[in-house]
Amino acid sequence: MRFYADENFPLDTVIELRRLGHDVLTMFEDGRANKSIPDESVLKRSIKLERVLLTINRLDFKRLHNADSNHAGIVICTFDPDFVNQASCIDEVCRNSNKVEGTLLRTYRK
């Protein structure tokens, strides 16, 4: 799966997702970190890149999804210091979803 990780998303989880075979682009790698980019613009960027957005900023992106579900998908996560587990949960929820595009998927710490 092709993901776009917002700037607060844990890098260790990104690394583990890549180990699981996912294509993950971070905002830092995209040259957009530390620029106070609004959440709406982050979501628009993920749409333009046709990537599922990864975030731990649950409330704001849930609000954006409810306002407009025309996106490649959003995965909202609770923070999990077990980054391997977090990546595994993301992998599982995406693989088990019939449709990711336009969907808000949630993962929780086990």
- Residue 70's identity, in one-letter code, is N
Q: Where are the extended beta strands (E) located within the chain?
A: 2-5, 23-26, 52-55, 74-77, 104-107
Distance of alpha carbon 103 from alpha carbon 66, whole angstroms: 10
Q: What is the mean pLDDT of the chain?
A: 95
CATH for 38: 3.40.50
Domain interval for residue 95: 2-107
Enclosing H/E stretch for 84: helix 83-95
- pLDDT score recorded for residue 108: 82
Number of domains in the chain: 1
Considering the entire predicted model, what is its pTM?
A: 0.94
Q: Is the pLDDT of residue 12 over 90?
A: yes
- Give which of 1, 49, 47 is closest to 29, Cα–Cα: 49
